[in-house]
Amino acid sequence: MAISPGNDAAFSSQKSTLSESSRSKKFPLTEEELFYMNCRAAYLTVFKSSLDNIISKDQLYLALQHAGRNPSQKTINKYWTPQTAKLNFDDFCIILRKEKPTSKAELLKSFKQLDVNDDGCILHTDLYKLLTKRGEKMTREEVNAIINLADVNADGKFDYIKFCKLYMTTNEQCLKTALEKLEVDSKLRRQQFGSHIEGSPERGPSPVPKPSPRIIRKTDQESFSNKGDTRSSLLATTRKFKTSVSFTITMGANSNQNSKLTEPNSIKEWQCVQSKGCFFLEEDGEIISHQYRMQIAQRSMVYLTIKPLNLSQAEGKPSPWLSVDTALYILKESENQANLQLMCFTELQNREMFGWTGELGPGIYWLIPFTTGCRLRKEIKPITEEAQLVYRDETGELFLTKEFRSTLSDIFEVIDLDGNGLLSLEEYNFFELRTSGEKCDEDAWAVCRENFDTKKNELTRQGFMDLNLMEANDREGDPRDVWVTLHSMGYNRALELTEACPFVINIYADKCKPRIKVVHMEACSGQLEKAICKSVVNKGDAKVMDGYENVIVHTYKRDTWITSVIENKSDNKVIIHINNELSKNCINNRGLDIFAVEVAPKSTMVCQHVMPLNERQEWIYYCVYSLIL
């Protein structure tokens, strides 16, 4: 926070502590602790507590799949006999020790036995005979579902190499999803799991679980290795994938040239307000941004736009944020703020600007900025030379370098949200919350005004420069804390703005002057997720999973990106495997060609956003969605 020179050490210590905590790492888990963490994660994906018991074959099957296993019916019957009434968490751990995950090599070996031409494919007729005529049989419908999987079948052949890749990715996703849920819920991390409490590096190894007698009698009498029964392994593997649908969309180069965003003819007579903001990329890849409330006093025609903010970058330096896609979702506030109503979003485009024109009635509206995350993503290129921030002259006096002063001027431009050339306490506090996590109070702000150049009780650009110079002097030129601030604002060590995208919003109304106020700076809210899903469901193309009419994939094509949403109307959660490998000149917000998502019952979720890698070239979106489990 901005405080007097004498007390600024507290400010420095605060940012230093923040930097050190962000760099701190936990001691690595032992192999035993990692095993039990995986067990807990899988178990708690199916049950509310590890004290709950498995009371059916279906529950055992589902829990094993979430642990990355691939149980055949024969394997399930080993552990769930006619005499079995229930299994507890310790029993589950023993099963996981015995039933090792099927390796990719083992799967390939199983399929290769049917590959008569040694070309990585099996004829559908041969696959059908194998799965329906001998041993543990699949139904005709189950086999047809496998044969209809678009990304592993072509020309009457089953591509088992692609299928094995699909299967391994799905298993990994099941376990990853379970672990992420366990980590997010701090209550689960403190919970006692059966006879195990979550371990820490300081404790000894977790105790060996005490199995129930019903498990010991069964497991001591037979081998649990399933490697010899390749057909059972194959059968269980293929049963995972139920059905699939695919989308193909070809987009021309510079497809946004057909957009129809135009200013209203009489806009010069309309009243206008402006506000700036910024998207910031967090360490975990999450994107946060400023969010706004807008008041319209009377029914008016309204013209809203959002676009990246053009900063005075040094000549020759890249400006990657200018290519970041931006959008605004406008939601109307009702008496119950928990249920905001989606009114519109900036669907039309003119170059880097997105906008909307239409009529809005009187009331309070929320403006939620949005970017897909396709272009704003973690930087991977190495920095060859770190920029110098400060220097001393011949007398030993400390100065800010020209490059650092230019960067600070740009930061001032970004955090001056109302664009009046001054920083109010409210504007400065958004900057403080972003860089230090705390606000500057009225007393500290009064001290700041006494020591630095202000105008109308607001900090000038020169005052902001002097404040940063004072902080550099208090640290005797040590730049470490300054780098923490710069990284928080999206700058890399070369002082390039690579992990943030400042933007500017303009609002015009013909009957009254709109009022806009920044109220939050936070991550994508549930309200925004709902708004995106609703807009895609209302405007996009829908395809139903064959044989599973309650699972629907919606795809909406805009001029510069494509969004897909998965709707699950069933009473059970589903896992959808997504394959983008055949897309051309495309990039998605997840950064993966192949991944899987879990969709909760009676819910809708955003699956992915896709954009062209090179806008000057044609791009083809080809995606296969496969229902598994």
Q: Under a CB-based contact definition with an 8 Å cutoff, are residues 514 and 296 in contact? A: yes
Provide DSSP, 560-619: S-EEEEEEE-SSS-EEEEEE-TT-BSEEETT--SEEEEEE-TTEEEEEEEEEESSTTS-E
- The contacts of residue 575 (CB under 8 Å, 6+ apart) are 170, 173, 174, 177, 596, 597, 598, 599, 627, 628, 629
- Look up tokens 């650009």; give the residue: 461
Run of H or E including 624: strand 619-628
The residue type of 386 is E
Residue 423's Cα: distance from chain center in Å?
Answer: 32
Strand, helix or coil at 361? coil
What does the alpha-carbon distance between residue 540 and residue 259 come to, in Å, rounded to a whole number? 17
For each of the domains in the chain, give its residue range(s) and CATH number, in order of start: 31-98 (1.10.238), 104-167 (1.10.238.10), 244-255+527-628 (2.60.40), 383-498 (1.10.238.10)
- Amino acid at the residue 299: R
Of the candidates 175, 173, 206, the one whose C-alpha atom is nearest the C-alpha of residue 39 is: 175
Are the beta carbons of 545 and 313 closer than 8 angstroms?
A: no
pLDDT computed for residue 234 by the predictor: 57
Q: Which of 567, 564, 537, 532 is nearest to 549 (CA)?
A: 567
467-515 pLDDT per residue, tens = 999 988 888 888 888 999 999 999 999 999 999 999 999 999 999 999 9
What is the C-alpha to C-alpha distance for residues 606 and 533, in angstroms, rounded to an integer? 6
Cα separation, 487 vs 592, whole angstroms: 25
Q: What is the pLDDT of residue 317?
A: 65
Integer Cα distance of 36 and 41 in angstroms:
8
Q: Strands, DSSP E only, in 198-286? A: 241-251, 271-281
Q: What is the structure's pLDDT at 304? A: 97
Residue 181 has what pLDDT? Answer: 66
Using CA atoms, how far apart are residues 367 and 291, in angstroms rounded to an integer?
Answer: 6
Cα distance between residue 565 and residue 599, in whole Å: 10
Q: DSSP letters of 21-37?
A: HHH--PPPPPHHHHHHH
Task: Give the Cα separation of 228 and 222 in Å (integer).
Answer: 13
Report how far apart, in Å, the C-alpha atoms of 294 and of each of 169, 268, 325, 361, 398 are: 45, 21, 22, 12, 44
Q: According to the 3-state scheme, what is the secondary structure of 73-138?
A: HHHHHHHCCCCCCCECHHHHHHHHHHCCCCCHHHHHHHHHCCCCCCCCEEEHHHHHHHHHHCCCCC
| Contact indicator for 331, 366 with CB cutoff of 8 Å | yes
Q: Are 196 and 206 in contact (CB under 8 A)?
A: yes
Amino acid symbol at 51: L
Residue 471 is encoded by which pair of tokens?
């902080």
Provide CB contacts within 8 A for 482, sequence distance 6+.
Answer: 389, 468, 471, 472, 475
Specify the pLDDT at position 605.
94
241 contacts: CB under 8 Å, gap ≥ 6: 145, 146, 149, 166, 577, 626, 627, 628
Q: Report how far residue 612's alpha carbon sits from residue 252's, in angstroms, rounded to the nearest whole number.
A: 10
Q: Which residue's entry shows tokens 């507290």?
A: 10
Low-confidence ranges of the chain (pLDDT < 70): 1-27, 134-136, 150, 173-174, 180-242, 254-259, 313-318, 336-338, 524-525, 629
Q: Which residues, in sequence order, are CB contacts of 360 under 8 Å at separation 6+?
A: 296, 299, 300, 302, 330, 343, 509
